[in-house]
Structure 1
Amino acid sequence: MSDVPFEKPWLTVIGLGEDGLDGLSPASRQVLDAAEVIMAPPRHLSLVPAGHQERVEWPVPYADGFAKLLDLRGRHVVVLASGDPFWFGAGSVIARNLAPGEWTARPGPSTFALAAAKLAWPLEMTLTMGLHAAPLTRLRPHLAPGLRAIVLLRNGDAVLELADWLTALGFGESKLNVMEALGGPRQRLRVCKACDLEFDDIQHPVCVGLDVAGDGLTLPKASGKPDAIFETDGQITKRPVRALTLSALAPQRGEHLWDIGGGTGSIGIEWLMSHSSLTATTIEPRADRAERIRRNADALGQDRLEVVHGIAPTVLDGLDLPDVVFIGGGLSDELMGWLKDNLDAGTRLVANAVTLESEAVLAQWHEKLGGDLLRIELAQSAPLGPRRGWKSAYPVVQWSVTL
C-alpha cells in the first residue's frame, strides 16, 4: 500500500450497468469523459463507445490486473466495474491495494437491487451471495425450504451446475429465476425448477433468484450439527460433546481458531459456520484424515478452512496466531508448554480428554494455569434383552482456560 499523499484521487471506480452510458449519472459521465485512461474487462469496455481515452483491458485472473493499474498511478484513470463495486465487486479489492485519498467510487445499481425489483423480493429478507468466484457449496449451510436467495454466477454453465447440485441434495423442486444482463437491452428472465432445467443457452452476466423447496436435509443453526453430515472414520467429536465444546470455545466476531487434532474436522467446520467473519486452521497428523477434513469442509461450504497436515507443536511455527485453541487430540506436556510460551496472553484454550493419560495432563496444567474443569458423562438408551437400558459413552473431561 502506498503512503504517498494525494491532493485528489487519481482513480475513480464507476459502476456500469448493462445499459452502458445511458445508466450513468451526469456527474459520473463527466468523470468518464475527462479520464485519460479507461481500464475494464472487455465486456465493460464494449459498452463504452471509443473516445480519446486510452483503453486498457483488465486481464484474467482478476488479481493480475493490479500491477497494470499501479503502473497508471498518477494519471486520471477510470476503472469500470459491474453495478455496485462494493457489493461482491471489485471495489473492496482495489481499496485494499491503494492508500486513502488515491481513489473514489461512484456505484451504480447493484445486480441484487435489479433482481429484487424484477422479482418483487424485499432485499432485507433475501440472502445475497456472490458465487461467480466461489464454490456453490457456500450455499449449503443456508439451504432450507422457504429460503429466497439471489446469487451471482460466473456463466451459464454455472447455472446448470447449480441446478444439478440442488437436485442431488434433494432440493430439486426449488424454483430458479434465471436472469441475464439485467438492466440492459438484452435482459431476459426465465423460470424453471432445478430438477427440470430445459434451456442451456444462458448468457453472461447471469444471476439466479433461488426459491428453495424440496425435502433435502436442512442443517440446523444451533451448534451440534448431526454427525451424519460429516464423512468420518469414527474419529469425530460426537454431536452433544461438540455442542458443549463450541459453547466453551465461545466464537466471537473476527476470531481465529486452531483446531489441533482435527480428526473429521467437525469442530473447525462448525466454528466457521457460526459467522462468516471467523477463520480457522485445523492441524491433523494423519494424511488420510487431513484429506477427509478438506472434503468435509468443502462439501459443507466452509472452503475457507485451512488444513495443515503435521504434528503439533512442530508445524505450529509460522501459522497465524489464534485467538482460540481447541485440542481434540495429541495433548501432551510438550504441546501445552509450547502453547504457553508462544501464544499471546488472553488466548482462550479448550481441551477435551478421554484417556486416563490425557486426563492426567489436563489435571497437571489445570493446577498450573487454573481455569475450569468439566466432566461430561452421557448415556443413550439401547436394547437390553427384551427391554431397554442406558449405554454409557466414555466420559469426557473438558478444560477451559484463558492464558
Structure 2
Amino acid sequence: MSVVGIGADGWSGLPDAARSELMDAQVLIGGERQLGLLPPECAGRRVAWPSPLRPAVPVLLAAHAGNRIAVLASGDPMFYGIGRALTEVLGADGLRVLPHPSSVSYACARVGWPLEDTEVITLVGLPAARLAAALHNGRRLLILSADATTPAVVAALLRDHGFGPSPLRVLEQLGGANEAWTDGTADTWAHPPGDPLNVIAVECRRAPGAAHLGAVPGLPDEAYEHDGQLTKRHIRAATLGVLAPAPGELLWDVGGGSGSVAIEWMRAHPSCRAITVERDPVRAERITRNAEHLGVPGLRVITGRAPDSLAELPTPDAVFIGGGLTVPGLLDACWEAMPAGGRLVANTVTLESEALLTEQYRRRGGELVRLAVAHAVPVGGFTGWRQAMPVTQWSVRKPSVGPTAGFSAQARAEHSGDNR
C-alpha cells in the first residue's frame, strides 16, 4: 500500500514518484477534498473516508484487499496524519510512505520560526482547553485548526488566560495558489471565519498582572477552585517529585479533592494520563473545571467511592492517595493494582492515618517523611511564623522480585529483625 502526502497545491506539487503511485493505484482512498485534487489520469476507484474515520480503517482495507491501494493524506502522513492508523493495522513494512511538506513546515517558513523551537498543538478533534497548558511567556506555538472557527476560539482562550496581548497569524491554504494570512492580537481579534484549512501561529505574551503558571509542579493555590480540600503548593511540589511522572504514564489519584495532583501530573508531559476518583459529586465537577482551566481536559474524573470504583480501571504506573486512607481495603487494593516497579505515595495529617502509614512502612519499606511548612505572617508590628499542619508522607516502589526487593537499607534491617 502507498500513502501519498498531498498539499494545497494539489497534483502540480507532487513529485514524479508520488504521481506514479497514484496513477497505478486500482483504489484511491482519501478525504473528499484530497480526492478532488487528482486529475482524470488517476483512474482508480475513488473511495472517501467515512466518519468516524478510525474504526473504518481496517474495514476499508479488508474490503479492497488484493488491489493496489493508494491512500491520500494531507502533507506528511506521519505527522498527525492517517499514517499512524495505517501503521497500527498493517505495520511499517506494509506501507510505502511518500511524505509532502507538512503545514507546520510551510508555516515556520512563512513566519521565520525555527521548527525545532516551535511547539505544535493540534485541535483537530480535540478540545481547545488543552492549549492552556502550553501558554508560557515568549513561547511560540503553531496550532493545527479544526475548522474556520478555531482562530476565534483560540483568541478567546488566550484572553481568558491572561495572554490577550499575544500576536496571532492565521495562515490559510499553505503552499497553494490561494495562500493567504490574517494578522491580529488575541485582545483585538474580530476577524470573521476564513478558510477551514488553516494553521494559527501564536507568539505568547502574558498581560501585565496575569498569573504566572510555571512548567513544573507547585502551581499557586490560587490557580485552583477549591473548598479547602487542596494539596497545598509546597506539599504538592514535594509529592509530585516523589511520584516522578514520566511520559506516557498513568496515575490514579484517589480522593481527588480539587484534582491538583492529577492535574500537575498531566501538565508534566502531554502524554501523561491520570484518573481521579472522588466520592463527592460537587468536588468531582470542580475537578473537571480545574482540569479544563489548566489545560488538561483529558483528565478522567470518576465519581464514586474507593476501593469499589477502582476495580475496572486500567493498571496504573503510580498511585497517589490523598484521602480515605482508613477506608478498609483501600491501601491493599491500590497495592495489588500496581505492577512491579509501580510507585505509591500517600499523604495524611491525622494520627489515625499516620499510624496506618507507619505500619505499612514497617511491612513494605519505602520512605516515611514528615513535611512541615511555615509561613511568615504579621505579629503586631513584627513578623513571625505560622505553622501549617504537618503532613506525613509514605512513598514506596513495588518490588520486582522477592518480598524485600527495593527496600531501603533501614527497612531491610527492620524486616529481617521481624523475621527473627
- Interval containing the TM-score (normalised by the shorter chain): over 0.9
Q: Kindly indicate whether residue 245 of structure 2 is the aligned counterpart of residue 251 of structure 1.
A: yes
Aligned to 1:392: 387
- Name which of 137, 149, 167 aligns with 2:141: 149
Amino acid at match of 1:57: A
Q: Secondary structure at the match of 2:149?
A: helix
User: 2:335·2:344 contact (CA, 8 Å) conserved in 1?
Assistant: no
Aligned to 1:350: 345
Q: Kindly indicate whether residue 327 of structure 2 is the aligned counterpart of residue 335 of structure 1.
A: no
Report the CA distance between 1:100 and its aligned residue: 4.2
1:16 & 1:253 partners in 2: Cα distance?
32
Aligned to 2:13: 23
Report the CA distance between 1:97 and its aligned residue: 2.5
2:3 & 2:205 partners in 1: Cα distance?
39
TM-score, normalising length: structure 1 = 0.93
2:397 & 2:187 partners in 1: Cα distance?
51
Amino acid at match of 1:384: V
Distance 1:28 1:211, change over 3 A: same
1:263 & 1:232 partners in 2: Cα distance?
8
Q: Kindly indicate whether residue 41 of structure 2 is the aligned counterpart of residue 56 of structure 1.
A: no
Question: Could you say what the CA RMSD is over the residues aligned between the two structures, in angstroms?
Answer: 1.6
Q: Secondary structure at the match of 1:241?
A: helix
Residues 248-293 of structure 1, C-alpha deviation per residue, up to 9 Å, x if partnerless? Answer: 1112233221111111111011111111232211111111111211
Report the CA distance between 1:319 and its aligned residue: 1.1
Report the CA distance between 1:201 and its aligned residue: 4.2
Q: Secondary structure at the match of 2:136?
A: coil
Amino acid at match of 2:37: L
Q: Secondary structure at the match of 1:221?
A: coil
1:343 & 1:207 partners in 2: Cα distance?
41
Structure-to-structure mapping, 1:129-144, within 5 angstroms: 129-144=121-136
Structure-to-structure mapping, 1:63-82, within 5 angstroms: 63-66=54-57, 67-82=59-74
Distance 1:193 1:92, change over 3 A: same
1:198 & 1:316 partners in 2: Cα distance?
47
Residues 27-61 of structure 1, C-alpha deviation per residue, up to 9 Å, x if partnerless? Answer: 11100000011111111111112342111111233
User: 2:316·2:337 contact (CA, 8 Å) conserved in 1?
Assistant: no
2:193 & 2:310 partners in 1: Cα distance?
50
Residues 217-257 of structure 1, C-alpha deviation per residue, up to 9 Å, x if partnerless? Answer: 33112221111111111100000000010111112233221
Q: Secondary structure at the match of 2:308?
A: coil
Q: Kindly indicate whether residue 175 of structure 2 is the aligned counterpart of residue 180 of structure 1.
A: no
2:252 & 2:191 partners in 1: Cα distance?
46
Q: Secondary structure at the match of 1:264?
A: coil
2:285 & 2:18 partners in 1: Cα distance?
50
Aligned to 2:284: 290
Aligned to 2:106: 114
Aligned to 1:46: 36
Aligned to 1:224: 218
Distance 1:100 1:125, change over 3 A: closer
Q: How many pairs were matched up?
A: 393
User: 1:354·1:395 contact (CA, 8 Å) conserved in 2?
Assistant: yes
Amino acid at match of 1:211: E
Amino acid at match of 2:202: L
Aligned to 1:33: 23
Q: Kindly indicate whether residue 85 of structure 2 is the aligned counterpart of residue 93 of structure 1.
A: yes
Structure-to-structure mapping, 1:188-227, within 5 angstroms: 188-215=180-207, 216-227=210-221
TM-score, normalising length: structure 2 = 0.90
- What is the aligned-residue identity percentage? 40
Amino acid at match of 1:329: G
